[in-house]
Structure 1
Amino acid sequence: MPLSGPRAERERPGRQDDQESRVSSHPSTGADLTTDRLVLRPWSAGELAAVLADVRPAHWAEDFPAEGDRFIAGYLTENPQALNAYGHRQIIERAGGVVVGSIGLFWPPTDGILEVGYGIVPSRRGRGYASEATRVLAEFALTAPGVHTVHAQVELSNPASVRVLEKAGLRRWSSDANMVRFRMTAGDLNRR
């Protein structure tokens, strides 16, 4: 699934309610985010280099990286400040340690608002991974100082991505003829 949001148009390179997220230390940027089925791990310099060099480690799904992941690897290589605790991550299946996609927040926030984008490789779609990853990353982002909203926008012609955001707990807040916009706020978390 392609990355979603306004930056996706310019920069194209996705937890369920009963799952608890856990945060663990990661040497490069500070935090892995963990759900029952997934680990969201910050990219390392070596992993970015492997994507750009078309080298495929054995722990990557056969169709990873996708085009969007290649774009993000280039973006992160050129903008290392985006590799922060609230930045971009690989989506990894906990059961086998296989990288199946990527997700990220476009840092820094603008007026307290961060944009989320995600992508799952075709071989792993339909399993709820994009929603699970989006939910845990959005909730984590809302703990960042000065962040009060995480948003995404998707084309109405992409109903799968619309459903991802709905299942992740983001609320639809506006739309036009082509796009629908979703958001999760700190207040949404307080109401749960």
Structure 2
Amino acid sequence: MDFSGKYTAFKREELMQEVQMHMSERRFQHVLGVEEMAVALAAKYGASKEKASIAALTHDYAKERPDEEFELIIKRDGYDQDLLNYGNAIWHGLVGASMVQRELGIEDEEILEAIRLHTTGAAKMSLLDKIIYVADYIEIGRNFPGVKEARKVALVDLDEAVAYETKHTLLHLIEQEQKIYPKTIETYNYWVVGKAEQSV
């Protein structure tokens, strides 16, 4: 895919190289898998394939940065200080988007928001938000109970895929006795409980 120059000054190959320099090979392979899935979902559901590609390539840009770097940015840049009670799983999306903006010069708000929300989701999600959220969960390198079903759902109904992923992510976090970020619960209440209530 050739980028238009509207959303990033980088050509696709250049952006891939920038991203690759900031992560392990394993993480980079995941990123490429997410891009492939995101572009396919964008084609299916009528979103910008270019935006899907850029958001997917950069969604984990900050994933392997040290915790100290995130903590410094959270304290310095006016984030809700409650964020300090969470960890990389939350930080690399919410805070990582600002690193993408600052270091890669990507200013498009829809792309940045998709990066911010790719692990937590939200009640209000754009088509691109949903595509990156789901693509991250079902890319071809993922292998866990339920992922095949999640892929099937994603090809039929993107909103249902958001609900499926949110429900199973929450179940996993509860089983692991991990702290749950409030936005994840908000996502669950809207996409799982809210949708179920609407269908009654």
Q: Same fold (TM over 0.5)?
A: no
**Which is helix-richer, 1 or 2?**
2
**Which is strand-richer, 1 or 2?**
1
Give the structure with higher Rg (CA): 2
Per the normalisation by structure 1, the TM-score is 0.35
Per the normalisation by structure 2, the TM-score is 0.34
Q: Which has the higher contact order (CA 8 A, sep 6+)?
A: 1
